Structure 1
Amino acid sequence: MKDSTDPQLAPRVLIAAFQGWSDAGDATSEAIQHLIGLQQAELLHIIGGESFVDLQLQRPKMFRDDDGRRTIEWPDTRLYGTVHRPGVVVGRGQAGSSTAGASAKADSEGETITRIDGSPVHDLFFMPGYEPGRDWENFADEVVELAEVWGVDLVVLLGSMYSDAPHSRPIITSVTSEDPELRQRYGAERSDYEGPVGIVTAIDVALEAATIDSLSLWVQVPHYVHSAPSPKATLAILDKLEELLDIVIPRGELFAQATDWESNINRIAENDDDMTRYIRSLEEARDDAMAAETTGDALAAEFEKFLEQDSRGAAAGAALLEDDAGLEEAASLEDAAGSESAATLEDAESTESTAGTAGTESDLPPGADPDSPAGPTQPSAS
């Protein structure tokens, strides 16, 4: 496997999405089909769905090829990527029948995924599939094996869920990882969720056990428009992928589709007072939450700054207190010495006065004036 920590080498990234429980509003499946359509990707491997998928729930689809022959498309999980062959130019439109329209559109517009500097991206793999109806552990092991075979450094698992999210506000995205280094590198968080899970989580756990780096990218889709695909949520996924992988993803017609999607919901809500009130309550709750979060972040930043300044001030204050304590101790010693000197001088003067009264002339130094007593030399206070 290639060392993804080498700054000279771009990591090989696998982006995976599965129709079913973790594909609310078709947001993840539409996102990955859009990416396949943009990239020069071809089919590399198939994980047969017959061993994992309940075909009564995920019915195979029949279509006719360019020659008019009937073909059945099974609910398989496929791996797509770019294969470089000497002297062969890989064209778009080779990503499978389900992406032919998107691929042709991307080819006609000359759009493709690039890096920030405009250079092409050749290290992306895509895995669209269906959530299995059984044998999840073996299915997850097959995904892990493919990641190892193709030298994948990072797996990004896409998910979308229905929530109390207003359609008129930005779609909320979240990125999680169990690896603290990945959380720091990509600004991810550690999920504390406990409860029912989908195949995305099962694969994530299997990747962790195989020591393959992985991120989970989830978006929230308004639950009251569950019957229609959500291009706005698809856009949110692409926006976050750009940020995580430092790439540029053309959006094509998604901007227009997202605008039409939001406008259509607004028109429906205008004729339904209950729906209008409900959406307004969701908007107010979202705005209040965002305001509180913003205020909380600002307060936290200010408090952190205050603590940092207070820490520096406390250190400086401690130094000053230490200096003051030294000065105070010196002054105390000086006062004590001065008091002792003054007491000594007072005793000397008292002794001298007594000697002058009761003493004899022999007690005085030779030539001394009896009326001018000569006491002992005064000790210096310094």
Structure 2
Amino acid sequence: MLDPAQLYQVDPDAPQLDEPVLIVVLDGFVDAGNAGALAVGALKDEREVTRVASFDVDQLIDYRSRRPPLRFETDHWADYDPPTLDVVALTDTGETQYLLLSGPEPDTQWERFVAAVGLLVEQLGVRLVVTLQGIPMAIPHTRPIGVTAHATRPELVEGHTPWFATAEVPGSAAALLEFRLGQAGQDAMGFAVHVPHYLARSAYPQAARVLLDHAGLATGLYLPTETLTRAAEQADTEIAEQMEESDEVVQVVKALEEQYDQVAAAREAGDLTDGLDGGDLPSGDELAAEFERFLADSDDKEKSGRDDDGEPPHEPPGPANPPPPAPA
């Protein structure tokens, strides 16, 4: 392995924090409902952001798979928005300082990246690392939003009842980070919020708010959620309006409610053998397509002023098995 200390640079003017928490949100892997991205936006919204350390993204990012945008104006290239992977210092609403590592998940050199974060954790005196993301699950939006919690020590997730026992899932840099930190004896944990699979491709601020609520309780931080609360109220209204347009979706949500209630009852009894696998229900992609159709229809009606879009009846989603839930 190349020297991980050469992968990042600490800002010489970076503030000195007293045993801070480090929140980690890496995009590019699973982030259902844009939960992690929305959480990062809420943490930075109207807060002073001070850079502490920067990673050399040229060594970590495959630009041909994730091409950064350049703006062309008339006859020249006018601007470039390069990817950044930085550790920044923020303050919560109680003026307690903490750290945030956010940006694209590295495409290469995972072990070196993880080792580099480990060096930063030691150098900056971090007491706890917390990762955040959203995962799609076959659950209804009408039930409480669940969270899968995981940690390097059982004491860190005390009080969190698991939703399932064992799962084999694709790896991620954030998951590897938690694993390696645990091996090194560093406290680390993560929260994966459960997003209804038919809303996984839409912005779902409810999930981001739940992530920050759980992170705040675990760390003692007072994390800002006001903007997410307002956005969630608007999203709830839009989802309710969309559901009124389709009896098929209403029936599917009712079926998901019944399934959820059965799994929740088994979970309370300590039985983790039955997962939220969706059975014979329509897949998340099919349900998402239904909601997207309603949004498109609503836009058409606003533009035309018609109550009926004149389109032939849309076939209801067919049965399929959605993918199993994937813990972070």
TM-score tier, shorter chain, comes to 0.5 to 0.7
Q: Which runs of 5+ in 1 are unaligned?
A: 1-8, 83-111, 298-382
1:223 pairs, out of 190, 197, 204, with: 197
Q: Residue 181 and residue 254 in structure 1: after superposition, are their counterparts in 2 closer, same or farther (change >3 A)?
A: closer
Q: Is the 8 A contact 1:36 1:126 kept in 2?
A: no
1:135 pairs, out of 109, 120, 133, with: 109
| Deviation (angstroms), 1:256 | 2.0
Matching of residues 192-211 of structure 1 within 5 Å: 192-211=166-185
User: With structure 1 as the length reference, what TM-score do the two structures score?
Assistant: 0.59
For 1:176, the aligned partner's letter is H
User: With structure 2 as the length reference, what TM-score do the two structures score?
Assistant: 0.68
Q: Residue 259 and residue 181 in structure 1: after superposition, are their counterparts in 2 closer, same or farther (change >3 A)?
A: closer
Q: Residue 147 and residue 61 in structure 1: after superposition, are their counterparts in 2 closer, same or farther (change >3 A)?
A: farther
Q: Is the 8 A contact 1:14 1:126 kept in 2?
A: yes
Structure 2 counterpart SS, 1:247: coil
For 1:203, the aligned partner's letter is L
Q: Residue 188 and residue 38 in structure 1: after superposition, are their counterparts in 2 closer, same or farther (change >3 A)?
A: farther
Counterpart for residue 288 of structure 1: 262
1:275 pairs, out of 215, 224, 249, with: 249
Q: Residue 227 and residue 196 in structure 1: after superposition, are their counterparts in 2 closer, same or farther (change >3 A)?
A: closer
- 2:52 paired with 1:77: no
Q: Is the 8 A contact 1:79 1:125 kept in 2?
A: yes
Q: Residue 33 and residue 208 in structure 1: after superposition, are their counterparts in 2 closer, same or farther (change >3 A)?
A: same
Structure 2 counterpart SS, 1:194: coil
Separation in structure 2 between the aligned mates of residue 141 and residue 148 of structure 1, nearest angstrom:
11
Matching of residues 254-269 of structure 1 within 5 Å: 254-269=228-243
Highest relative contact order (Cα 8 Å, sep 6+), 1 or 2?
A: 2
Counterpart for residue 3 of structure 2: none
For 1:266, the aligned partner's letter is A
Aligned length: 249
- 2:24 paired with 1:53: no
Separation in structure 1 between the aligned mates of residue 105 and residue 132 of structure 2, nearest angstrom:
12
Counterpart for residue 240 of structure 1: 214
Q: Is the 8 A contact 2:85 2:101 kept in 1?
A: yes
Q: Is the 8 A contact 1:38 1:113 kept in 2?
A: no
Counterpart for residue 5 of structure 2: none
Q: Is the 8 A contact 1:160 1:221 kept in 2?
A: yes
Q: Work out which of the two has the higher radius of gyration on C-alpha atoms and give 1 or 2.
A: 1
Separation in structure 2 between the aligned mates of residue 63 and residue 240 of structure 1, nearest angstrom:
39
Cα distance per residue 1:90-148 (max 9 Å; x no partner): xxxxxxxxxxxxxxxxxxxxxx6245xxxx202x1001111222221112222222212
Matching of residues 33-112 of structure 1 within 5 Å: 33-37=41-45, 39-62=47-70, 70-81=78-89
Query: Superposition RMSD on alpha carbons, in Å?
Result: 2.7
Q: Is the 8 A contact 2:149 2:190 kept in 1?
A: yes
For 1:45, the aligned partner's letter is A
Separation in structure 1 between the aligned mates of residue 103 and residue 185 of structure 2, nearest angstrom:
23
Separation in structure 2 between the aligned mates of residue 139 and residue 63 of structure 1, nearest angstrom:
30
Counterpart for residue 101 of structure 1: none
Q: Residue 173 and residue 63 in structure 1: after superposition, are their counterparts in 2 closer, same or farther (change >3 A)?
A: farther
Q: Is the 8 A contact 2:152 2:187 kept in 1?
A: no
For 1:194, the aligned partner's letter is E
| Deviation (angstroms), 1:240 | 0.7
| Deviation (angstroms), 1:246 | 2.2
Counterpart for residue 113 of structure 1: 92
2:120 pairs, out of 129, 146, 155, with: 146
Counterpart for residue 88 of structure 1: none
| Deviation (angstroms), 1:150 | 1.0
Counterpart for residue 39 of structure 2: 31
1:253 pairs, out of 218, 227, 230, with: 227
Cα distance per residue 1:57-110 (max 9 Å; x no partner): 32213479xxxx94422222111015xxxxxxxxxxxxxxxxxxxxxxxxxxxx
Q: Which moved more, 1:214-223 or 1:41-50?
A: 41-50
Separation in structure 2 between the aligned mates of residue 288 and residue 187 of structure 1, nearest angstrom:
19
| Deviation (angstroms), 1:292 | 4.5
Q: Residue 249 and residue 38 in structure 1: after superposition, are their counterparts in 2 closer, same or farther (change >3 A)?
A: farther
Structure 2 counterpart SS, 1:17: strand
- 2:156 paired with 1:182: yes
Structure 1 counterpart SS, 2:125: coil
Separation in structure 1 between the aligned mates of residue 166 and residue 264 of structure 2, nearest angstrom:
21
Q: Residue 71 and residue 191 in structure 1: after superposition, are their counterparts in 2 closer, same or farther (change >3 A)?
A: farther
Q: Which runs of 5+ in 2 are unaligned?
A: 1-16, 271-328
Q: Is the 8 A contact 2:42 2:227 kept in 1?
A: no
| Deviation (angstroms), 1:192 | 3.8
Separation in structure 2 between the aligned mates of residue 25 and residue 59 of structure 1, nearest angstrom:
22
| Deviation (angstroms), 1:293 | 4.1
Structure 2 counterpart SS, 1:15: strand
